[in-house]
Structures are given as structure tokens and as C-alpha cells.
Amino acid sequence: MDPDALTRTELAALKAATRRVIAAQGGQISAALDFNLAQCTVSEYVNPKKLDRFIPIDRVALAERFTGKPFITAELARLSGHVLIELPQLDGDDVWSRELGTIAKEAGEAMHALGEAIAQGGTVTADEIRSLKIVDELQDAIAALVHAKSMCEAVLKEEGGK
């Protein structure tokens, strides 16, 4: 086997992500109708024993757009050592001072939650992550930064350069 090839565990994780997106789409029959495919073809996409048969990338994009959930894209990001972050919706509010305030607020709340966890025992435990909603706080801080980045990119685009 090619040392750079995906492992059986990684392939199985992609199959599991495919099963989740197909289920969210309404199941195999619904997905087959949406894709104009035979149900047996969709069945191969989700079958954990068919590690040589995967859903084509254009169908991934359609299924994830339809469901609003990036199950497969998130798994691909994880397999490549990345994390997928949802882009915030730009609401047309381009007031920079307000944006800076949002970043400071969200980052402060994330730091506060992490500080609370560390203060409770010198480390951050899974129970503290759940009870203090640390992942949510970090996601909010990341979203605020991504929004600011999008605003900067919009300004650059307006001026004709990136």
C-alpha cells in the first residue's frame, strides 16, 4: 500500500461523514432523486465495505448546500490537519469601532472561560470545556475575527487589489 494513501480508518471516517450528509438529505432514496442517480449508487457511497467507491466532489457540494451541514468537508479538513470554521453572515454593518468592540468582547469571554477552567484545577478538563462552553466561546471569538478579516478583504476588493 502507498504510504501516502489514506488509511482504512480515514476512509471509514469519510464514509461515516457521507452517511451523515445523506441522512440529513432525507436518506438514500431522497439523495438518489436529488442527484438523479440509482439508489444502489448512493448505497455504495455510504457502504463502509465499499472503500473504493466515494461520492463525487460535485455531489458533496450539492448535498452539503442542500443540508446546510458540511459533514464531508469538515472531515476532509480534519484529515488534512485543519479545522472548518463557518463564515459569519455579513450584515452590512461596517462600523469598524463596533467590530473592534465585538472582537474584544468575544475574545475576552473566551479567555475568561479558559481562565475559569484553569483556576479550578490548574488545567482544562473535558467537563470544564462542556460546563463553561469553552468551544462555543472560542468559536464566537474566531467568528468575530473572521468577520473583521472579511471586512478588510471587502475594502481591498473595492479598491481593486487583494
The residue segments making up the domain with residue 38 are 8-79
Grid coordinates 468575530 are at which residue? 144
Give the number of other CB atoms < 10 A from CB of residue 110. 21
Q: Would you say residue 100 has pLDDT above 90?
A: no
Is 71 found in the same domain as 101? Answer: no
Residue 75 maps to a domain: yes
Q: Check whether residue 59 and residue 106 sit in a common domain.
A: no
How far apart (Å, rounded) are the C-alpha atoms in residues 14 and 18? 6
Q: Is residue 85 in some structural domain?
A: no
Q: Of 79, 108, 123, which residue sits at a domain end?
A: 79
Q: What is the mean pLDDT of residues 104-130?
A: 93
pLDDT at position 90 is: 58
- Residue 1, pLDDT > 70, answer no
Looking at residue 162, its pLDDT comes to 54
DSSP class of 133: T
Q: What pLDDT shows up at residue 39? A: 94
Contact of 72 with 55, CB cutoff 8 Å: yes
Is 2 inside a domain boundary?
no
pLDDT > 90? residue 25: yes
Residue 1 within a domain: no
Q: Is residue 87 part of a domain?
A: no
Task: Count other C-beta atoms under 10 Å from residue 32's C-beta.
Answer: 19
Assigned domain for 23 exists = yes
Residues 12 and 75 in one domain: yes
Total structural domains within the chain: 2
**Arithmetic mean of pLDDT, 32-40:** 93
Q: With 60 as the cut, is the pLDDT of residue 93 above it?
A: no
Q: Is position 29 within any domain?
A: yes
CA distances (Å), origin 84, targets 1, 71, 77, 139, 153: 29, 10, 6, 11, 19
